[in-house]
Every structure is written in structure tokens, then in C-alpha cells.
Amino acid sequence: MSVDIKKLISQLTLEEKAALCTGETAWTTVPVERLGIPSIWVSDGPHGLRKTPIMAAETSIPATCFPTASAQAATWDVDLVQTIGQALGDECIAQSVDVVLGPGNNMKRTPLCGRNFEYYSEDPFLGGEMAAALINGVQSKGVGTSLKHFATNNQEYQRMTISAEMDERTLREIYLAGFERAVKKGKPWTVMCSYNRLRGTHASQNRYLLTDILKNEWGYEGFIVSDWGAVHDRVAALQAGLDLEMPGPQKFRVQRVVTAVQKGELDLAVLDAAVERILKIVFKAAETPKGKVTLDVDGHHALARKIASEAIVLLKNEGGILPLKNIKRLAVIGKASKEPYFQGGGSSHINPTKVDIPFDELKKLAGSMELLYADGDTMQPGLNQPMIDEAVKVAAQADVALLYIALPPFKESEGIDRPDIDLTDHQVALIKAVSAKQPRCVVILNNGSAVAVGEWINGVAAVLEAWMMGQAGGGAIADVLFGKVNPSGHLSETFPIKLSDTPATINYPGENGKVNYGEGLFIGYRYYDAKAMGVQFPFGYGLSYTTFEFKNLRVSSEKFRDVDGLKVSVDVTNSGAVAGAAVVQLYVHDEKSELVRPVKELKGFAKVMLQPGETRTVNIALDERAFAYYHPRHHQWVTESGAFEILIGKSAGEIVLRHTVQMESTQQRTAMLDRDSTLLDWMNHPRGNEIIKPLIEQAMKNLPADTPIPDWAKDLPMEVVLMWFANQSLTKAPEEMIEDLLALTR
């Protein structure tokens, strides 16, 4: 269907245009029947659909609850994440939903963010790749996504008001880079702005974020929707680039827009542009007929199980206790084995189509093994000694004890930050008591983000991180415990030893309405690398039931130009006895740069499945951006010629291969000169150099020929150079002269 949107806009009244830019209900846009403009339905997600007929409905229509984002990222498998997107797209079609409100791609600046379970990673490259994969999957079905929460929404504490304060480079390289990748690779139909402020201005009214960067610099063509209730001044929001306000209806806001246009406070062209973006998506959505298919409940449940099993990270496996073998009696301890904890609280909460009970799933695979059970855990604050005593008794009667430990909802949820990164006191006491009596003890964790394990991990034999694993997670855990699936998940965030080690510690949660991102670029492994600080489990970490060897790191060229990029190859061999999937992580280290850079940064990865003894070559392509950093002075991503080390790791803490290459920058960098620019900055600036040349020659005319300009002089601001060395020949005061010279460079 081809619709002439410009023509439609010319037929809309001012009132209709204003109304179109605000929702009709909590989940729909405004239709205009007389012109055949339909409305679209948006629903929460994004690890499943939460279609609720009204805003605060307790129970949404049943949908498949897939593992949450932190689990998805732990698969390090973009193809798999894309299949989640495809399944979600199908569920949207079955439930007549046009746009799913996700993925969430905020960076895990601190493990305390209550919504970390909904986010992918502490690394923008990994997060960006995951978000793009999910978006591409959903949108391949003709259904839209809403990449959220744009941007710098990295804590729940005061999320609607807090102002994130950070320097430009940190913003670009850490907090926007993942969004940029997802926007450019995934082209989401919509982007959702966040609640918080950035440098004092609410994201919903932040022109720099919404228009200058997202729409103009990144060429984003979809529409921008507000987070639910994020708009404070509707006119200012429109002027900043916010197209659709949600939820609706908001009759006062609509009237305010009408009045603003009538009074000449708001340019009609701005309103028209927002309407155009919204209508483009409305009609795009209409191209995919909805509601005529039935949900593939079993197929999607099986997919949820596969993803959950690939997301599980084997953190410890002493003496190869896993997979379970030669066991007669197995003790199963923990409420979470009977009442699984598989998703988080808040807007992403799904009403699952069905739920695997971990205990029952164990039973299905246990064969003749006898299963014993003790509740063990209370999931409430406070210690319950009788429950612990009972669990110890049961564990002592078995060959191995499994402890299902789920972080209770009061410890992590949307809307609140986590009080700490610890399990409850009861859970710690339970693990310690059980493992003291039964050292053949396996802990299975369910949580959405890093937890501290130091108090008890030495006493247990094995640990599985099973995340918020989705509705089929119970089966996935059984698959891994019994070796039906060889674990291949790797951490998408560092597990620190203790909370006070984490990068944002002294700057979190902020005060007086501001949170200072004082650690700058150094979040996650970038921080621990820079401080050479030990962690419990590094970013990228994960064990397997087999072993892998990485060999023969080679590059397409020892010397290459930034624009040509580089192809890196490495051979991976499964050197163990069972099939398994390896994750190859490629980090780049810049040996020398004008500005400080993290020790290394993830720039590529690949997951490869290998039979025992099999070797495969993994190829990873690096583009110009893999070597670039954002230069705040130049207002652009820059590459600097020189040596770069290509690092291949099994995790950020285990680099196994390295190779140095030489990159040649082809950039013609023209820094914007300003009052602070030094003599050297002027000399490096093609036009600036021309302008100052006569002045410098004049200043040096009495010195012997070829006298070099000393380094300390090159470091002086040009204004001072004028004042000290060219004073006699100046026709104006240096402060006026410098303005004239600057004008010549623009």
C-alpha cells in the first residue's frame, strides 16, 4: 500500500496533528478515520509480550517469557538472539501488536541498577550487537521495536529526575555507542527516550540527544516516543525532537500544542515533521496483517529452553562434578526448584504460557536416581535456622546436593535499585551450612545481574549462573546439569569481589539531583583493567564440559588503512571429549594515543560449535570504528596512525593470543580551533597554519634561521603567543586579534 503521507498531512487539521503526537490510550496512537489513518498498538516486552488491555492490568495476555536481556547477552550468540526476535515478532502478529517496547540497551554502569536484568551488558559493543540482533529479528516479521531508554538511564534511583553528568567522550564511547550500533545496524522503527535528565535537561526535551545526535548525526528515520510519563513540557519536547508522547490521552497537552502553534511559539513545520515520522510507521505497521495466526506455544517454549540453556554460565566445576554422573541419591534444596524465579518485576513482567518446574524437569532426566527435597530457602529477609537444619540433614543423605538459590524480588526490580549485590543472609548461611556437611554441592543461581559469591564459593563444588532464565529455564538447568547441553554461556558483565570494588562506587547514586559519572570511560572491565584489580569472575568468563585451544592468530594485513579495516582469523579446536561451543572474544589495545584510552576494548566476537577434536577457523572483521575513539575537541570519531594489538581472549581476564598490527589513519582531521587552542593545535590545522604562518615568521625573524619552536611554546594558547611574541606587530589587542583569527578558520 503506498500512501502519500505529505498529502495526508496537508489534509489534517491543526487539532488532528497535535492529537496524533500523543497516544489515544496507554498503548495506542490516535486514528483519524475520515482520512483512513489507522492506529497502532504498542506493548511492553522485550523478553516476551505484555499486552494489557489497560495501563496497570495485573495480568496480561499469556505470552512466552524468554530469558531476560542479561541472559540473552550471556549466550554471545547474535543468531540465537535474532531467533528470539523472530518469535517475538510472531507473537506480536498473533496478539495484534504493532510495536514491541524494547530492547533495553542501557549500560550496566553499576551492578546496583535494579533494571540490569533488562539490559545486556557493561560493554557497548556487546550490548549494541545484541540489541541490533533482537531488533532485526522482530522487524524481519514486519513488526516494530522501540530501542530504549535513550539515554543515560543507568540507575532506577530517582530515575525520573536525576541528571546524569558526564563528559562528552564518556557519553559517546560508553553510553551512546551501544545505541548508535543498534540504531545503525537494526534501524528500529521507534526509539524510546528515557525519564532522566542528561546534563540538566530531561531526555524527552533534550534536543542534543534526540535531534542533533539521533536524528541528524546518526540519520535515524523512525519516530521517537517518550517513556511513559517522561514528558514535562510538550512543546519543548516537540521542539527537541520527541515525536510521540505516551501514554495518552492527554487533552491538556494536545491543547497546549495547538495554542503554541496558533501563537507562533511552535513552528508548524516542527509539528508536521513529527506527524510525518509517526504516520510513516503507522502505515508501515499496517502492511503486516495481524491477529490471523495462532501462537506456537510449544515451539516458542522449546526455543526459550534452548536460549536459557545457552545462557547458563558455568562459573565453577571442581573435580568435574558436572555433568552429574554415577549418583544414586540427589538432594534438591531450595524453594526456587519448585517455584522458579525466572523474570523480574515491572513493565517487562510477562504472564507466561506455561512454566517449567525445575524439580520436575530434573526428575524427567534423573532416571533411576532418587531425588530428595528440602525447601531450604525462605526468599524473605531474616534467618530461618530450622529450614537450614532440615536442608543440611537432607543433603547429608545424598551423593550430591543441588541448591537452587534465587535472588528475591526485594533485592532487584524495576523502579528501585538494589540495596547491595549479596544474596540474603539466610541464603548465605544455607549454602555455607549445606556445603560444610556436603561438599559435593552445586549452587544454581537465578538473578538478573552480578552477585557477590566470595563468602561461600570456596566451599561448594560447582556454580551455575542461570540468570532470570525465562519460563523454560527449569528444563534448561536440568539439561546442563545432566550434560544434555554443554554450557557455553559467558558473562556479559564482570562479577566483582565486592560492591566497593565497582567503578561507580564513590559517584553512585548521586546527590542534589545529579549523578556524576566520575569514572568516565572506565566502567566494567575497562575499570578493572586500568586499576589492575582482581575480580571474582571477569567479563566474558564461562567454563565448559570440554576444553578449547585457540591457535594461529593471523590478520589480513600487517599494515592497513583505517578505511580498509582488518580481517582477523583464529583456529579454534575442541580438545576435549564432548561437543561444545567456544566463544572467541577479540579485544583491541591501542599502544599509543593522544588521549587516554582503556587498556583494551571488545571489538568482535564469535561463537562456534565444535565436535571433539574438530578445528574450525573463526573470522572476525574489524572496521574503522574498531580502532577509533571519540575526540571531544574534534567533535568526531578519530583514528590515529600507529600500533594496535589484536588480543584474542577466552574472557577479558584471559588473553590467549596477541598480535601487533600497524594502522594508517586516512583522516583529514580539522579540529575546531577555539580560544584555548595551543600554537601546536593551530600548526596542525591546515587553515590555521596558513593564518598564523606570517605572524610566527614575524615573531622569529631576529632568530637564526632554522631555530626550532620549543615544545613549551607550542603548548601555549595562541592568544598568549600573540601577546608575548607578536605584540609589537599586532594591530589590535590580543583578545580581539584572536577572535579575528578564529573567524578566518570557520
- State which residue, 102 or 489, has the beta carbon closest to ligand BGC: 102
Q: Are 439 and 420 in contact (CB under 8 A)?
A: no
Task: For the CB of residue 549, give the shortest distance to ligand BGC in the complex, in Å.
Answer: 43
- State which residue, 129 or 227, has the beta carbon closest to ligand BGC: 227
Q: Please give the helix or strand (H or E) that residue 125 lies within, else none.
A: helix 124-139
Binding to ligand BGC by residue 417, rule CB under 6 A?
no
Q: Please give the helix or strand (H or E) that residue 425 lies within, else none.
A: helix 425-437
Cell numbers for 8: 495526508
| CA separation for the pair 490, 487 (Å, rounded) | 9
Q: Which candidate, 615, 543, 546, places its Cα nearest to that of 578?
A: 546
Task: For the CB of residue 50, give the shortest distance to ligand BGC in the complex, in Å.
Answer: 8
**Subset of 123-182 contacting ligand BGC (CB under 6 A):** 148
- State which residue, 227 or 356, has the beta carbon closest to ligand BGC: 227
Q: Please give the helix or strand (H or E) that residue 73 lies within, else none.
A: helix 69-74
Task: For the CB of residue 145, give the shortest distance to ligand BGC in the complex, in Å.
Answer: 11
76, 117, 228, 630: which one contacts ligand BGC (CB under 6 A)?
228
Distances (CA, A) of 573 to 65, 101, 289, 314, 615: 35, 40, 47, 20, 4
Task: For the CB of residue 115, give the shortest distance to ligand BGC in the complex, in Å.
Answer: 8
Binding to ligand BGC by residue 44, rule CB under 6 A?
yes
The number of C-alpha atoms within 13 Å of 510 and in the hemisphere containing its C-beta is 25
Task: For the CB of residue 311, give the shortest distance to ligand BGC in the complex, in Å.
Answer: 21
**Count of positions on this chain that bind ligand BGC (CB under 6 A):** 6
CA angle (347, 278, 220) in 5-degree steps: 85
- State which residue, 44 or 77, has the beta carbon closest to ligand BGC: 44
DSSP annotation of 212 reads I
Task: For the CB of residue 598, give the shortest distance to ligand BGC in the complex, in Å.
Answer: 29
DSSP annotation of 356 reads -
| CA separation for the pair 320, 324 (Å, rounded) | 9
| Ramachandran sector of residue 379 (left: φ over 0; alpha: ψ -120 to 50; beta: rest) | left
DSSP annotation of 615 reads E
78, 101, 586, 652: which one contacts ligand BGC (CB under 6 A)?
101
Binding to ligand BGC by residue 227, rule CB under 6 A?
yes
Question: SS3 letters for 541-577?
Answer: CCECCCCEEEEEEEECCCEEEHHHCEEEEEEEEECCC
Binding to ligand BGC by residue 106, rule CB under 6 A?
no
Task: For the CB of residue 456, give the shortest distance to ligand BGC in the complex, in Å.
Answer: 34
Catalytic residue among 77, 98, 227, 417: 227
Task: For the CB of residue 493, give the shortest distance to ligand BGC in the complex, in Å.
Answer: 20
**Subset of 593-612 contacting ligand BGC (CB under 6 A):** none
| CA separation for the pair 647, 337 (Å, rounded) | 40
- State which residue, 227 or 493, has the beta carbon closest to ligand BGC: 227
| CA separation for the pair 232, 582 (Å, rounded) | 48
- State which residue, 159 or 305, has the beta carbon closest to ligand BGC: 159
Residue 676 annotated to the active site: no
| CA separation for the pair 153, 146 (Å, rounded) | 15
Binding to ligand BGC by residue 211, rule CB under 6 A?
no
| CA separation for the pair 34, 36 (Å, rounded) | 6
| CA separation for the pair 217, 726 (Å, rounded) | 40
CA angle (483, 488, 494) in 5-degree steps: 130
The dihedral over CA atoms of 523, 525, 528, 532, expressed in degrees to the nearest 10, equals -140
Residue 361: helix, strand or coil by DSSP? Answer: helix
Binding mask 304-343 for ligand BGC (x = CB under 6 A): ----------------------------------------
Binding to ligand BGC by residue 347, rule CB under 6 A?
yes
- State which residue, 228 or 404, has the beta carbon closest to ligand BGC: 228
Q: What is the DSSP string of 284-299?
A: HHHTS--S-S---HHH
CA torsion sign for 394, 396, 399, 403 is: positive
- State which residue, 344 or 474, has the beta carbon closest to ligand BGC: 344
Task: For the CB of residue 125, give the shortest distance to ligand BGC in the complex, in Å.
Answer: 23
Q: Are 308 and 474 in contact (CB under 8 A)?
A: no
Q: Are 684 and 640 in contact (CB under 8 A)?
A: no
Residue 529: helix, strand or coil by DSSP? Answer: helix
- State which residue, 97 or 478, has the beta carbon closest to ligand BGC: 97
- State which residue, 173 or 227, has the beta carbon closest to ligand BGC: 227
Task: For the CB of residue 127, give the shortest distance to ligand BGC in the complex, in Å.
Answer: 16
Binding to ligand BGC by residue 284, rule CB under 6 A?
no
Measured from each CB, the residue nearest to ligand BGC is 347
Distances (CA, A) of 405 to 12, 106, 384, 431, 597: 57, 27, 15, 9, 39
- State which residue, 51 or 631, has the beta carbon closest to ligand BGC: 51
Task: For the CB of residue 448, give the shortest distance to ligand BGC in the complex, in Å.
Answer: 15
**Subset of 681-710 contacting ligand BGC (CB under 6 A):** none
What residues are annotated to the active site? 227
Site residues (vs ligand BGC, CB under 6 A):
44, 101, 148, 227-228, 347
